[in-house]
Structure formats: C-alpha cells, structure tokens
C-alpha cells in the first residue's frame, strides 16, 4: 500500500482529534484517521496550506487508475456525508486516505472484495480556508 507524504492544517488536526475523542477508538474508520494524523509530515496554519492540498471540506477531482473513472468528491465530517452528492466522510477509507494529499499524488486503497484501487488526485477544485467548520 502506498502512503505518500501528507500536509495537514493545525485547525483540521485539532478538529479531527476532537472528533476522534468523541468516538469509539476501536472503530476501523477512527483507527485509520488517527493513523493518517500521526503520519503527517507537515502541519501548517490554515492560511499557509498550499491550494493543491486536500483539507477538510475540499472538493477534489480524482481518477481510479484501473478503470479510468473520474470522481468529484468533497471531504466532509461524518454528519455531512452523502454518497449521492459525492460527500465522503473523513471516516470512510477513501476519506482519511485523501486528507493531506497533494495534486499528482496517488494512494492505493483496499476496496470491498479484496481489490486494491489506485486513486490519483488530479485537482483540488475548492479548498475552504481553515477546512470549514467543525460540527458542534
């Protein structure tokens, strides 16, 4: 499995750690998210994050290399997730994997049925300053 270097904002890290603290830390999605937070190479202020890095509430364009299928996804907190609208929870495997990626990087991610998908980040279509709001 490929795990490229990632950049996170301090605000996203703080908000996501609060989210983790509010959940069962034995859930697979929580474990995967904590792993991503722990391996961040760079943590910057939200005003310093490059425009080509995925933060919370970023809308991204990525491609699954095996099928060539393109996806337009928005990385959101669990309560805002809606697969029909392309809003992917940070606790979903692809959600935690996208966090902190930079355009041009790719991730290998296990899919249902034992397959591994390779997703390449093509574009960060929008990135709100500070990664948006944390649902209280």
This prediction has a pTM of 0.87
Tell me phi and psi for residue 90, to 5 degrees: -60, -20
Tell me phi and psi for residue 84, to 5 degrees: -65, -25
Q: What would the pLDDT profile of 54-102 be if each residue is shown by its tens digit? A: 999 999 999 999 999 999 999 999 999 999 999 999 999 889 989 999 9
- 105: tokens are 């990087």
The structural domains of the chain, ordered by start, are 6-126 (3.10.50.30)
Residue whose tokens read 């990385």: 75
Question: Which ranges in 6-128 belong to alpha helices (H)?
Answer: 10-21, 28-38, 93-98
């Amino acid at each position: 499995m490929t795990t490229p270097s990632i950049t996170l904002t301090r605000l996203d890290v703080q908000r996501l750690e609060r989210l983790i603290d509010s959940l069962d830390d034995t859930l697979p999605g929580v474990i995967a998210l904590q792993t991503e937070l722990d391996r961040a190479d760079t943590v910057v202020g939200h005003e310093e994050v490059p425009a080509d890095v995925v933060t919370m509430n970023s809308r991204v364009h990525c491609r699954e290399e095996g099928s060539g299928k393109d996806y337009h996804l928005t990385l959101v907190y669990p309560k805002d997730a809606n697969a029909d609208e392309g809003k992917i929870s940070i606790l979903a495997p692809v959600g935690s994997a996208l966090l902190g990626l930079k355009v041009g990087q790719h991730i290998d991610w296990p899919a249902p049925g034992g397959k591994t998908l390779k997703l390449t980040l093509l574009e960060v279509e929008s990135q709100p300053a500070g990664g948006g709001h944390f649902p209280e």
